[in-house]
Structure 1
Amino acid sequence: MIGLSVVVIGLAAAFAKNLPLVLGMTVVGGFALFHGFAHGAEMPLGASALGYGLGFVLATSLLHLAGIAAGLGAARLSSAQGDLAGRVGGGAIAAAGLAVMAGVL
């Protein structure tokens, strides 16, 4: 489910699809639920739940910051270049999701 959610979000960015706010929030919230469940299910036996949880929350925060920085950088480009950057980035995200689904990543 994680790989599929990455593909869907990547394709939405690649094709510049703007969902209605409530639908977008529902989709992202659903994906977040599955991601959180997967992280919890992968926690090694004997690991500190607090330390493990803080680790994946920190990693997620850094990924979000990288995405925000990329978006702000794309916004500084001309409209056409920014659109292209968003589409290429979305395509790369979708490709990464496919790689996760194929077991490559």
Structure 2
Amino acid sequence: MGQRHIRHSLLFLGAMLCVSLPSAAIAHVGGHETAGFLHGFQHPLGGLDHLVAMLAVGIWAVQVEEKQGRFLLPLSFLGLMLVGGLLGMVGMNVPGIEVGIIFSDLLLGCFVFFGTRLPLLWSSLIIGALAVFHGYAHGAEMPTNAQGLQYALGFLAGTASLHLIGMGTALLALRRQQIQFFRIAGVMMVVAGLTVFAQSI
């Protein structure tokens, strides 16, 4: 019974990653259509690099020792991602965005694989720093005809949804005492990060 649940969880997680393998983002806007909440919501779902990080944050939040980390880490990510998004929207030059995003996928995948437990303050600071890179990419890639506030609320909601999916699958694995879920999920995320890196070369 437990093995079946862990297989289902991993298949679901794998399906989420595979959905984003195409390089074209589903959030692109064509013609004269105004980009609003829905386009912003779709943006984190349209790239493998973003998808890996968002799911990893949710999974790692369940792994940290302090229970409040399950709320604090996702909230730290969302808050600093919004700051990064604003920087991207105004066109501020922030170097190393793509490198930072790929690094975040690899680092978070390793954290999930090893079940890394850091003091909650350090965990929140790391998550927040990584979130700036993802937020900047969301803001910089915002279509010129977007409604800024609605688009920002959309990508925040999309990100929060992925956090919740990661947390839900991780909690299910813990409830079923399927610790190997975290090892397999971590490997999948590192492989996905390496895939994104290979495509960027």
Q: TM-score range by the shorter chain?
A: 0.7 to 0.9
In the TM superposition, structure 1's runs of 4+ consecutive aligned residues that sit over 4 Å from their partners are none
What is the CA–CA distance in structure 1 between the aligned matches of 2:151 and 2:127, rounded to whole Å? 23
Q: Tell me the equivalent position of 1:92.
A: 188
How does the TM-score come out when normalised to structure 1? 0.85
Other structure's SS at 2:179 match: helix
Unaligned runs of 5+ in 1: none
Cα offset, 1:49, TM superposition:
0.9
Q: Could you tell me whether the CA contact under 8 Å between 1:11 and 1:90 is conserved in 2?
A: yes
Aligned residues: 101
Q: Could you tell me whether the CA contact under 8 Å between 1:4 and 1:98 is conserved in 2?
A: no
Instruction: Return the structure number with greater helix share.
Output: 1
| 1:13 is the counterpart of 2:13 | no
Cα offset, 1:43, TM superposition:
0.7
Q: Deviations over 1:47-95 (max 9, x none)?
A: 11122212211210110111011111101123xxx22101111111222
How does the TM-score come out when normalised to structure 2? 0.47
Cα offset, 1:10, TM superposition:
0.8
| Identity over aligned pairs, percent | 40
Higher relative contact order (CA 8 A, sep 6+): 1
Q: Tell me the equivalent position of 1:70.
A: 169
| 1:24 is the counterpart of 2:123 | yes
Q: Tell me the equivalent position of 2:27.
A: none
